[in-house]
Amino acid sequence: MTEPTPDAGEVSPFCSELRTKKLVFATRPPRSAEELMDASGHCWCGLTMQTLGPDGEVVDPQDCRAPRACNRPYLGGGAPGARG
Protein backbone atom coordinates (compact mmCIF):
# COMPACT_ATOMS: atom_id res chain seq x y z
CA MET A 1 0.00 0.00 0.00
CA THR A 2 1.42 3.40 -0.95
CA GLU A 3 1.21 6.47 1.23
CA PRO A 4 -0.94 9.32 -0.06
CA THR A 5 0.92 12.14 -1.74
CA PRO A 6 0.70 15.36 0.28
CA ASP A 7 -0.79 18.38 -1.42
CA ALA A 8 1.35 21.46 -2.01
CA GLY A 9 -0.03 23.27 1.05
CA GLU A 10 1.09 20.43 3.31
CA VAL A 11 4.61 20.54 1.87
CA SER A 12 5.03 24.32 2.00
CA PRO A 13 2.62 27.24 1.79
CA PHE A 14 5.23 29.29 -0.09
CA CYS A 15 5.99 29.61 -3.78
CA SER A 16 8.86 27.33 -4.81
CA GLU A 17 10.51 30.34 -6.50
CA LEU A 18 10.73 32.37 -3.27
CA ARG A 19 14.44 32.67 -2.41
CA THR A 20 16.34 33.68 0.74
CA LYS A 21 19.88 33.20 2.01
CA LYS A 22 18.62 30.93 4.78
CA LEU A 23 16.84 28.71 2.25
CA VAL A 24 20.22 27.74 0.75
CA PHE A 25 20.87 25.60 3.83
CA ALA A 26 17.38 24.12 4.15
CA THR A 27 16.99 20.36 3.89
CA ARG A 28 13.26 20.50 3.14
CA PRO A 29 10.72 23.05 1.89
CA PRO A 30 10.00 25.75 4.49
CA ARG A 31 6.74 25.46 6.38
CA SER A 32 6.92 28.79 8.23
CA ALA A 33 8.39 32.24 7.68
CA GLU A 34 10.84 31.53 10.53
CA GLU A 35 12.26 28.59 8.55
CA LEU A 36 12.54 30.79 5.48
CA MET A 37 13.76 34.21 6.59
CA ASP A 38 17.04 35.24 8.23
CA ALA A 39 17.71 38.39 10.25
CA SER A 40 18.22 40.48 7.11
CA GLY A 41 14.63 39.92 5.98
CA HIS A 42 15.81 39.94 2.35
CA CYS A 43 14.10 37.71 -0.19
CA TRP A 44 13.77 37.59 -3.96
CA CYS A 45 12.05 35.72 -6.77
CA GLY A 46 13.92 32.87 -8.44
CA LEU A 47 12.25 33.66 -11.76
CA THR A 48 12.99 37.39 -11.95
CA MET A 49 16.06 37.33 -9.63
CA GLN A 50 14.69 40.58 -8.19
CA THR A 51 12.57 41.70 -5.25
CA LEU A 52 9.60 41.94 -7.62
CA GLY A 53 7.85 38.84 -8.92
CA PRO A 54 6.79 38.23 -12.53
CA ASP A 55 3.48 39.93 -11.73
CA GLY A 56 5.28 43.16 -10.75
CA GLU A 57 4.38 42.81 -7.07
CA VAL A 58 6.82 42.78 -4.15
CA VAL A 59 8.28 39.41 -3.13
CA ASP A 60 7.36 38.59 0.48
CA PRO A 61 6.61 35.36 2.36
CA GLN A 62 3.15 36.64 3.25
CA ASP A 63 2.31 37.25 -0.42
CA CYS A 64 4.29 34.57 -2.30
CA ARG A 65 1.74 31.79 -1.94
CA ALA A 66 -1.61 30.79 -3.38
CA PRO A 67 -3.73 32.41 -4.76
CA ARG A 68 -1.09 34.75 -6.25
CA ALA A 69 -1.17 34.23 -10.02
CA CYS A 70 2.57 33.59 -10.37
CA ASN A 71 2.68 31.12 -7.42
CA ARG A 72 4.45 27.86 -8.20
CA PRO A 73 3.80 25.33 -5.44
CA TYR A 74 6.46 22.84 -4.40
CA LEU A 75 4.23 20.03 -5.69
CA GLY A 76 2.76 21.53 -8.79
CA GLY A 77 2.40 18.82 -11.38
CA GLY A 78 5.64 19.60 -13.17
CA ALA A 79 5.35 23.37 -13.40
CA PRO A 80 8.69 24.90 -14.36
CA GLY A 81 10.68 25.67 -11.23
CA ALA A 82 8.50 23.51 -9.01
CA ARG A 83 10.22 20.99 -6.80
CA GLY A 84 8.92 17.68 -5.64
Q: Is 84 a member of any domain?
A: no
Say if CB 70 and CB 46 are below 8 A apart: no
> What pLDDT is recorded for position 10?
73
- Taking residues 59-77, report their average pLDDT: 90
Q: List pLDDT tens digits, range 2-53.
A: 554 555 557 899 999 999 999 999 999 999 999 999 999 999 999 999 999 9
Domain that holds residue 31: 10-68
- Taking residues 69-80, report their average pLDDT: 73
Q: Is 59 a member of any domain?
A: yes
Number of structural domains (the chain) is 1
- Taking residues 52-75, report their average pLDDT: 96
Q: Is 75 a member of any domain?
A: no
Q: What are phi and psi of 75, to 5 degrees?
A: -115, 95
What pTM does this model have? 0.77
